[in-house]
Amino acid sequence: MSEKNKKILAHLDKILEAELSGVVRYLHYSFMIFGPNRIPITAWFRGHANDGIAHAVAIGEKITAMGGHPSLKVKPVPETNKHNVMDILEESLEFEREGLRLYHELLGLVGDDIALEEMVRGLILEETTHIEEVEKMIKGSK
């Protein structure tokens, strides 16, 4: 296996760990929502958990397709004990920005692998859309 592919696989593992962390994070957030807007906000967070599962599946499948062995680790999710919606959205925004950074770094590694590049670009689009959604939710609440 080339050094380039080893670097790509290591980075894909980092992303896999982050995406699985996002599933845990967003499920936890969904459990901690209270108040009259609970139902749509809970559904929104659980939708993001499902997106994280889909991203993790795509990344894991790519890792095995490239001859790698997907990580079993999950990046730890810090418990801030801040459970009001605005605090959760701020934490979510920080997490989404970190995920976007990881995908941009991967994009810089893919070289001439068009299929991987297209996959990463699609995931960048999804992450960017998530960030924009959260930014609008925060902006609308200030």
Question: In CATH, what number is assigned to the domain containing residue 19?
Answer: 1.20.1260.10
Instruction: Check residue 142 and give its pLDDT.
Output: 62
User: Which DSSP category does 35 fall into?
Assistant: S
Name the one residue in this structure whose structure tokens are 């976007």.
Answer: 100
| Predicted local confidence at residue 1, as pLDDT | 79
Report the percentage of the chain scoring pLDDT > 90.
Answer: 88
Residue 120 burial (CB count, 10 A): 24
pLDDT higher than 70, residue 69? yes
> How many folded domains does the chain comprise?
1
Q: Does residue 20 contact residue 72 with C-beta atoms inside 8 Å?
A: no
Residue among 104, 7, 111 at smallest CA distance from 63: 7
Q: Which residue has the tokens 């070289």?
A: 111
> If DSSP codes are grouped into helix, strand and coil, which group holds residue 37?
coil
**Is 95 within 8 Å of 24 (Cβ atoms)?**
no
- Cα–Cα distances (Å) from 121 to 25, 40, 73, 100, in that order, read 24, 29, 24, 10
* Structural domain range at position 120: 3-140
The residue type at 15: I
pLDDT tens track for 85-125: 999 999 999 999 999 999 999 999 998 999 999 999 999 99
